Structure 1
Amino acid sequence: MDAIDQAILTQLHQDARTSLKELGERVGLSSPSVSERLRRLEERGVVRAFTVDIEPRALGYQLQAIVRIRPLPGQLAAVEQLIRDTPEFCECDKVTGDDCFVARVFVRSIEQLDGVLDRIADKAQTNTAIVKAQTIRRRPPPWVPGV
């Protein structure tokens, strides 16, 4: 990945809706050249998707929580399926350590959060932290020369 690829990715991370023409102008290439580079970045798995950034508060989700989840013995698969089936879980990572999952939950109220946690209470222990502010929004990893 060269400096131009990095510039393209930086521009797209800021606004994935940038047109090929505008993207080309910003990085000093023609639209077809930008298109070809994007195609190669997709083929290599560098670009997985072009997406939209939704503000949960604008949809009424005033609370965000980080939930550490430790399934009870023999309940790992059941807990993982419950997490997948619960739409309030918007992100979840399977991790090492004492807990098996670390998840991000969006809810409208503490009562709704209680309901979400109650669904898995008989299959897992949870530890919940309410998010006060997101200091760093999701961002790409640092660019590594030569990758």
Structure 2
Amino acid sequence: MLDKLDQKIISLLHQNARIAYKEVAAQVGLSAPAVTERIARLQERGIIRGYHAELDFLACGYPLEAVWLVRTHHQQLFAAIDLVKSLPEVVSCDTVTGENCLLVRLFATSVAHLDQLTYQVLAYGEVNTMIVKQHVVSPRLPPLQQP
């Protein structure tokens, strides 16, 4: 369970992973050593698993973001997962319930590039491709549990 101070610390780190612990301490009303200790405990408990840079994929040469819904037969699922894991353009993949087996998010340099990637996955089942037009909700924290 997270107390209110842990929740606030996590929120501040989520907003800016490079924030100085001294600044976190000032905003939550603790000393910097106390904040350092709390963050260390959150890491030890596996609540904080890492710190990440947010990239502009367009500036990195990937103007096209897409989502695949992949539907395979059970005997082909693990081969499809292995293929998706091997594609460096894939940034996330989840197994899901319902008619589809996989939810895949990826980036491509062009429609032709996206087609080339899609054709590889089609060897394992059906692929429904959606082009991401705009992010209306950026990645954010869900409400954290109250003690």
Distance in 2 (CA, whole Å) between partners of 1:44 and 1:135 is 32
Paired residues of 1:89 and 1:106 also in contact (CA < 8 A): yes
Alignment-derived partner of residue 78 in structure 1:
79
Aligned length: 146
TM-score w.r.t. length of structure 1: 0.94
Alignment-derived partner of residue 18 in structure 1:
19
In the TM superposition, residue 72 of structure 1 has moved relative to its aligned partner by 3.6
TM-score w.r.t. length of structure 2: 0.94
> Which consecutive residues of structure 2, in runs of 5 or more, have no partner in the other structure?
none
RMSD: 1.1
Paired residues of 1:6 and 1:143 also in contact (CA < 8 A): yes
Please say which of residues 80-89 and 16-25 is displaced more in the overlay: 16-25
1:1-147 matches, within 5 Å, as: 1-146=2-147
Equivalent residue letter for 2:37: E
Distance in 2 (CA, whole Å) between partners of 1:72 and 1:96 is 14
Distance in 1 (CA, whole Å) between partners of 2:74 and 2:50 is 36
Distance in 2 (CA, whole Å) between partners of 1:52 and 1:14 is 11
In the TM superposition, residue 54 of structure 1 has moved relative to its aligned partner by 1.1
| Matched residue SS, 2:97 | coil
Q: Deviations over 1:65-96 (max 9, x none)?
A: 11000124521111000000001111111011
* Identity percentage of aligned residues: 38
List 4+ stretches of structure 1 deviating above 6 A. none
> Which consecutive residues of structure 1, in runs of 5 or more, have no partner in the other structure?
none
